[in-house]
Amino acid sequence: MTSVLKELTLDLEKTERLDKVLTATLGISRSTIQSWLKAGLVSVNGEVVKSNYKAQNGDVVTILQKEEEAITIQPEDIPLDIVFEDDSLIVVNKPSGMVVHPSKGHYSGTLVNALLYHSNSLSDSTSEEIYRPGLVHRIDKDTSGLLVIAKNNDVHQKLAQQISENKMNREYIAIVDGHFAHETGVIDAPLSRHQTNRLKRVVEKGGKNAVTHFEVLDAFSDYSLVSCRLETGRTHQIRAHMEFIKHPIVNDPLYHPKGKHATEFGQFLHARTLSFTHPVTGEALNFHVEPPKEFEDFIQLHKGRFSE
């Protein structure tokens, strides 16, 4: 069974392919849109259509989702570390251990539950057939740091476009195994889903383009503190890329299961810097939050010094 995920009336100046229109309107990937169309989940004026359908002004588009994917999201009074907020967007510092959005096995206690309680104005753009109010991008449960949240669909679309055009600067820091031969580098290695472990991503020819820039900030004991800047934003990109170059992130249970230390803290990965252009005012915004104290504790434990 299916239920209606989203319905919208198109406002177009000219005829365009439906997949291109929905990608631009909803602020989600074209591959996701095409998967919906291939699965017969998209109809126009009551008729199921293909991705090459020529959309026209006034067309009513209905997007369905499978019933088992529909999750009712309840607002929950969960404290948020809000770095910035105005009428258009929110910048939040997510703690390690918090799931970003509800899914099977995680129906409450997520960032989205907290956001719905905090604000009654969030975008309703969708991604991967699942309703995720406000979320322009995501970070993993055990990754801490900065996320930008959209309060309406126009802002969502413009922020998503900045990401797709590599105009949003997203910088992370991580503690990884080993020392580097070079202080800076670029990892240009396509990523695909692992054939047997569907949770993992692996470097594979023919995968999705993935580029990570790194800089070594400090080295201590058997570890390094590195800055990683995303040029693309694939699932698990930094985690998979660090594993690929033989410097897996400390405490990463998926990509470095043998590197677990005696701490309850998750992988040492933190979204430290987020810079973008305000989609309404045009102002250049730059946000920076230092990592949780567990980073400093780990470095001090291993006789290192945290470098700014």
Q: Which residues are catalytic?
A: 140
CA distance 185 to 240: 16
CA distance 15 to 123: 26
SS3 (DSSP) at 301: helix
The enclosing H or E element of 34 equals helix 30-38
Q: Contact, 225 vs 236, CB < 8 A?
A: no
Write the DSSP assignment of 51-101 as a string of letters.
Answer: TT-EE-TT-EEEEEEEGGG--PPPP------EEEE-SSEEEEEEPTT--SS
Structure tokens at 257: 């299961």
Structure tokens at 160: 């998503």
Please state at what angle helix 18-26 crosses helix 30-38, rounded to 10 degrees.
130
Q: Contact, 99 vs 108, CB < 8 A?
A: no
CA distance 67 to 65: 6
SS3 (DSSP) at 258: helix
Q: Contact, 98 vs 141, CB < 8 A?
A: yes
